[in-house]
Structure formats: structure tokens, C-alpha cells
Amino acid sequence: MPLSKMSPLLIKAKNEGYAVGSFSVANMEMVLGVLKAIEETKSPAIIQIAEVRLKQSPLEVIGPLMVAAAKNAGVPVAVHFDHGKTEEKIRQALDIGFTSVMFDGSHLPFEENCAFTSKIKQIAAEYDADCEGEIGCVGGSEDGSENIAINCTSPVQARDFAKASGVDALAVAIGNAHGNYKQAPNLRFDILEQTASLVDVPLVLHGGTGILPDDFRKCISLGIHKINIATATFDSVEASVKKTYEQGGINGYYDLQAAEVQGAYENAMKHIEIFGCAGKA
């Protein structure tokens, strides 16, 4: 199955009423765990890494691994550069072969966000790749280092932003936040419904860790068709390793590796069921 662009996966999801999981990875074991789950369930998927994570997982190392894994997968897999902050790293991801990139200009004034996202969209087009933007501000930060306040998306601004920037997918803020929630978030489904009625491109939900299954399903019914899962993957991998150690199941490096793969696999399987994408490859 060839490496896929993001847009056909999301357009199909929008037409058929499900969401594609976009799973953050940090090493080979997480990639293998996600691929095992999506191949077993015949699900499309996106594997991604955020720019803020590159200190631990350098792009020149993890990127080619992600692209190679997608090329050799038995189901369609897109490779996505998440929360790009700099043109330099976005271009590097595209040079490596990523099929979509996100410019996160949510911290910028509307006009600046729109202008720079449009520029990144044009750069991505040179590589026949897709571009995701963000309007409004999802709470927290991708690595948990900043306590960024939630600024819910304006549906009218979302419409104007999507038209002006030409993005292929649009991340919205509806009360969602990165990292682990202290309590279940109070999502603004009214804002999501209004935004979906005004915006033609598929909508994206960041901060998926800890959102209740029924809330995920309601988001999908109202127009979300890409859901980012990062913290839940990392937490599941860590929990799997701890559990296997406690059970005496790790007697060497390869047992440790298997426990990491299992953690990523279990997390992906859980979300594939919720997102309704099994059998959609």
C-alpha cells in the first residue's frame, strides 16, 4: 500500500462519517505498535510528530523511519508534521517525505496566522503535500511545558481563514486541550456545529487524550474527521512497560521493546474502535 496523503483519508472519513486517528510517535516501537493495530483492523491512519518533540526524537532520525514504515504498511498511512513552528523544520519534514504538515499560528493575530499558513500551504503544494492550520487556541502545549489558555474558535473566522489560507484541514478549539485533563472537558459542541456548517474542509480535534468516548463520537457526528492522540500513546507505552516489569515479564531488552510496542498497539486499538475507522482502509 503506498504512502498516502492526508486529504484523501480525511475526505473519505468526512463522506462516510468517521474519524481518522492521528497518532503521535517518538520511536520505532510506537510506530510498530500503531501499524500492528491499523493493519489488524484494516484502518487508515496518520502517524505524526510535533516540532516540540524533536529534541528527544530528531527529525532526521525519526522522520525517515516513519516514512519507510508508511510505505511498507498494508493500509493507507499518511505521515504528518504536527504543530510546526518554523519554516526550516517544516521544509525538512517535506524533504524527508512527510505527506502533510501543520503550521501552528494559533498564537498569532488572525491576519498573520492566515498569511503564514497560506505561505506554508504553498510550500507544501510544491511537494504535493497537504497543509493543516489552526484557528482559535487549543489549551496547553504539545509537550506540557506551557499552560496556554483555551481560546475557542470563532466559526466566522474559521470560514474566512479556511478560504484565505487554502488549508486541507483545520484544527479548531472547542474547549479541548493538550495533555491529561484534570477532569473531563466541557466541549463547546455548539461552536463545532456552527463551524462545520461554514467550513468545507475536514475539521481536526487536538488534545484527544482523556475526552470521553461519547464526546468523541458526538464530535465526529458534528464534523471532526481527524483526531490527534499523543499523550495517551505515551502514557499507554509507559504503563505497559511498568506492568510488564511488575509481572516479571522483562528479562532483557527485547522484552522491553515488546512491552513498548504492546502499549502503543493497545492505545491505537482503543481509539480505532471509538473513531469508527475499522474496516475503512
Secondary structure (3-state) at 154? coil
Q: Which three cell numbers stand for residue 170?
A: 483545520
The answer to whether 48 touches 80, Cβ cutoff 8 Å, is yes
Q: Which of 82, 130, 168, 215 is catalytic?
A: 82
Q: Is 82 a catalytic residue?
A: yes
Question: Which residues have C-beta within 8 Å of that of residue 74, sequence separation ≥ 6?
Answer: 1, 39
Ramachandran class of 279: left when φ > 0, alpha when ψ lies in -120 to 50, beta otherwise: left
Pairing assessment for the beta strands 203-205 and 169-172 based on DSSP bridges: parallel
DSSP string, 24-52: E--SHHHHHHHHHHHHHHT--EEEEEEGG
Q: Which three cell numbers stand for residue 32?
A: 510498530
Whole-angstrom Cα distance, residue 194 to residue 199?
A: 9
Active-site annotation, residues: 82
